[in-house]
Structure formats: structure tokens, C-alpha cells
Amino acid sequence: MHPSAHLDTFARDHLPPQDQWPELVFELPALQFGPRLNAATELLDRWVAQGQGDRPCVQGAGVKWSYADLQAEANRIANVLVNELGVVPGNRVLLRGANTPQLAACWFAVIKAGAIAVATMPLLRAVELGKVIAKAEVSHALCDAALADELAAAQQQNPVLRGICLFRSGEPDGLEARAARHPASFTNVDTASDDCALIAFTSGTTGQPKGTMHFHRDIIAICRCWPPHSLRAEASDVFIGSPPLAFTFGLGGLLLFPMSVGASTVLLEKAAPELLLKAIVEHRATVCFTAPTSYRAMAPLVAQHDIASLRKCVSAGEALPAATRALWKEKTGIELLDGIGATELLHIFISHTEATARPGATGKPVPGYRACILDDAGRALPPGQIGHLAVKGPTGCRYLADGRQRQYVHDGWNLTGDAYLVDADGYYVYQARTDDMIISGGYNIAGPEVEAALLSHPAVAECAVIGVPDAERGQLVKAFVVLREGHAGDAKALQEHVKASIAPYKYPRAIEFRSSLPRTETGKLQRFKLRET
């Protein structure tokens, strides 16, 4: 590794041993990184240096900043971190807030100061924040005043967190007031390209959170793989969407990718389906990032909103059912861009373009990444056979001091925990999370396939399919269905519909109607919660 700029060596001290790392691949010409790199220089300062500082950069929460404005804000905050709060390179700085330009400025300030950004999901409570603080040994926090209480409670239990500074508080000792007393210039710490820049905690649904460590070069690498090959955005684009910046889907889609091409981004504090549509109209947004269920919920409302500005829509976080892709295209004329990403790999590694979209398939490995399907013994499987999705590329899994590294990385491959197959044309087709595969009457059944069949019925708004214990069949396929407004719950009709769409043995033998389904803040279905009921 290159000589580190970190005075606090925590990150390098807690990387997994090199022999447990995934193999890293830097084949693309765009992925040749030198020894020194600060991601903020590349994404933010570069534009100002090139005389493009007046270009619109980020708006939301009552502000509208150019690249030069964001740079000035980030520099002032970096000065506060270093000169008032005593942050040294390598310290972990927790970030907490809804998506706002102010949060984005804090993120860049941390990166500029050579510290490590630990962004946290807004809905986390004190107990969960405490786990993150303890695990990453977080010393400082920048927190939106609106979310201060839970963090203060977490600090009580975790004195390792020395200082919390609030932004958007309006107080004389708040971050903005302090920042205003510092110069708008800052010399970025000359970090190594392989110095840790962020620790992203997985949106994992159970157990202890896993911290994934990503370097300065990883931040730039993801900007040079999926965006130029699949998204192909331009400097004139206006990005918008729902995923929190603490979720790497949101960090990339709503901050890094727009800035990597000199485009602008709209950060929304609230982005429920109807609010997101309204914001697209208001800001004349052109590129949208959100989860499959959000597209499904927005579709029936599209007719009442003039979203003609929109030209590209990205779906990730969960499998995109063919019915949702068709519905969105019918209502907007836009072919969704689906991509599978993971916190461990930072962003999307299998995807497609509008022209190569294939309903029901995720796509092909993004240039820069390689993928294959492995059996339980780690042998490559031929097309058509279901196995474990394995990936490698310029980014990959490095858990912070965590034995689960050995589960995610095998023989240099990242194993995402997804069951996939490759079809005859090389398209990767999602089946299920490996631990969500249902075994019923000797058959392997992928819940999402049954969900896709149900979703093509007009009465179904949302659904989830799980296996429930059954004396006779081992597991029984059970569906939880949320009905569309104005439809009655006719289980028999839904069962017949599934039998007519896919192999009849896969049909849900039990159906329960619900008014909503349990989801994470990142839009993922929490199937384990349904299994517990």
C-alpha cells in the first residue's frame, strides 16, 4: 500500500488481512490510479480550477449552490473540523441528516480533511448509532439539528464520541456560524489513493452492522465504471431521487455521479413517491434514482404530473420485476435502468443500457467488473444453472474488523449472497437472496419469481413471497399481498393467475392480505419480519 496520510492509523490497522481481500481488477484505462488522490479534489475542486465554478451544483433545503459555493462551504467546514474540533487525518467523523446540500458540504469537508466519513441512515435510533460509533471508534459528528436527540443519547453510552457539532440549528455555536468565521479556502489533505475515505455500514436487516471500508480511489472508480457505460449522463443533467446519502446507492447516484460529470443534483429531505414526482416537476429533473417499489407507487400518479423533463430513471436496491419495468414504460415512455449494487462493492456492477434492457434480467457485468455463477463448492456453473453470484472489479469487500469477511470473499471473488443464473445470451437473471430460496415439495422456488407473477395481476399493488414451515412439503409458498385501491381480495383468482403465468407448482398455497409490507429505509422488503409472524 502507498504511504498513508493518516495520523490516526485506525483504518489501516483494522483492514482485513490482505489474503482475505477480494482480487482487485484495474483493467480499464480509466482505472489507473497514482499513489496520491483525494476524491474531493477530483469531484469538486477540479471544476472550480477549470473555471466552471459558476455551474449549478446542488440544491435543496432552501439553498441553491454552484460548484464554487459548495467548495467554499466544504472548505469552511473543513477548517472548523481541523482548527476548532481537532480532527486529524484518519479520524472517523459521523454524519447524520436527511439529504440536504448542507450534509453534502459536510461529506466533502470530511473527505478534504483526510478524515473518514461514516454516514448514518436518518432513521437510526440511539442503540443502532451506538453500535456504529463503537465499531468505527467515531470521534466527531456533524449532525442535522433535527436529528440531534438520538445522537446525543448514543453519545451518553459511547464517550469515544468526543464532539458533536450541529448544522441547520440557527444557533450561534452551530456549524454554519462557526464556518462563517473561517476562510473559504482549504488545502486538501494529500491522501494516498488507498487511504480509507469512508466506512459505509450495510443496511443489513439483522445482527451487528458490518462496516465496509472504501478508499479514495474507490469513490472515483465507481464514477468511471457504471455511469459512463450505462447511465451516460451529461453536464446539463439535473439528478434527483430518494436514497439517503448514507446508502451508497444514494451517495453515488445523487452526489458522486452528477459531480463527476459537472451536472447538478437536487437533494430532497423527504422523497416519498408523490413528493418525488412533485419535485421532479418543480426542478425539471432529468435523471431519477429510486427503488423498484417507488417506481411502482409513482406510476399511477404520473398522469397528474408534468414530468416531461425526465429522461433517465435508475432502479436498484431490489430486483426490478418485469411488470414494474413495463408499467413505468407505459406511463412515461422511459426504459428503466436496473442495476445490482452492494454496499460491499460501493455501487452497481451488473446493469445494462436502455437499448439492451431485458425484462426480468439485471443485465451484464459493467465494464471494469467480472462476474460468474458458482456452485456450493466454488466451481463455475454453465448457463442456465442457478448458483451463487460472484463478482470482482476495482472495488470490493473489506469489512472493518469482522470475521464475516471470510463469508463474503472466497478465492478472490465477492459473494453477494444472491442466487442468480446466466441465460444463453449472457444476461444475469436474479432469483432470490440465497437464504430466501424456498424449498417446497422438493422444488427450489425463488420467491421473487412468484412475486413477479403476482405483480402482473391488476389487483396487486405490492407483494412478498416467503416459505413458511409445512409438515408435508417442508416449506409452503406463502404470499403477502397489498391490494390496489378499489380491488377486493380474491385469493383464488390470484392463485390461478400465478399458475397461468409460471410453472404451476410455484403458486402460493397461502395468501394473506395486508395493508402494507415491512421495508427498510432503503426500500428493501424485510422478508424475515414476515417469517416471524
- Give contact residues for ligand 3UK (rule: CB under 6 A): 202-203, 248-249, 316-320, 338-343, 347-348, 362, 416-418, 430, 433, 522
Question: Which residue of this chain has its Cβ atom nearest to ligand 3UK in the complex?
Answer: 341
For residues 178 and 75, give the distance between their C-alpha atoms in angstroms, rounded to a whole number.
12
Separation between Cα atoms, residue 505 and residue 477, nearest integer Å:
10
State which residue, 74 or 116, has the beta carbon closest to ligand 3UK. Answer: 116
Residue 81 contacts residue 87 (beta carbons within 8 Å) = yes
| Closest distance of CB 197 from ligand 3UK, Å | 16
Rounded-to-integer distance, Cα 494 and Cα 497, Å: 5
Q: Which residues pair with 389 in a beta bridge?
A: 373
Please state, in angstroms and rounded to a whole number, the distance separating the CA atoms of residues 118 and 376: 34
Tell me whether residue 117 or residue 511 sits nearer to ligand 3UK (CB atom): 117
- Closest to ligand 3UK by CB, 138 vs 340, is 340
Which residues pair with residue 443 across a beta bridge? 440
Residue closer to ligand 3UK, measured from CB, 4 or 431: 431
* Closer Cβ to ligand 3UK, 89 or 448, answer by number: 448
**Could you say which DSSP state residue 81 is in?**
I
Of 78 and 429, the one with the shorter C-beta distance to ligand 3UK is 429
Burial, 301: exposed, middle or buried (Cβ in 10 Å; 0-12, 13-18, 19+)?
middle
CB of 337 to ligand 3UK, least distance (A): 10
- Per DSSP, the three-state class of 505 is helix
Least Å from the CB of residue 117 to ligand 3UK: 15
- Closest distance to ligand 3UK from the beta carbon of 522 (Å): 5
Give Cβ neighbours of residue 349 (< 8 Å, ≥ 6 apart).
Answer: 225, 226, 339, 340, 341, 342, 365, 366, 369, 371, 391, 393
Task: Kindly state the smallest distance separating residue 450's Cβ from ligand 3UK, in Å.
Answer: 15
Which residue type is seen at 452? A
For ligand 3UK, the closer of residues 89 and 360 by Cβ is 360
Bridge partners, residue 290, by sequence = 315
SS (H, E, C) 417-471: EEEEEECCCCCEEEEEEHHHCEEECCEEECHHHHHHHHHCCCCEEEEEEEEEEEC
Beta carbon of residue 274, minimum distance to ligand 3UK (angstroms, whole number) = 23
Radius of gyration of the chain (CA): 23
What's the closest the beta carbon of residue 504 comes to ligand 3UK, in angstroms? 25
Closest to ligand 3UK by CB, 114 vs 341, is: 341
C-alpha cell at 419: 442466487
Of 320 and 372, nearer to ligand 3UK (C-beta) is 320
User: Sign of the CA dihedral 381, 384, 389, 390?
Assistant: positive
Geometric angle at alpha carbon 254, from 63 and 302, rounded to 5°: 90
Output the CA torsion 194→242→62→84 (10° steps). -30
Q: Cβ 175 to ligand 3UK, closest distance in Å?
A: 27
Cβ–Cβ under 8 Å, residues 161 and 96:
no
> How far apart are alpha carbons 465 and 481 in whole angstroms?
9
Name the minimum Å distance from CB 241 to ligand 3UK: 12
User: Minimum distance from CB of 356 to ligand 3UK (Å)?
Assistant: 15
Name the residue nearer to ligand 3UK (CB basis): 203 or 264.
203
Q: Which residue has the cell 435543496?
A: 60
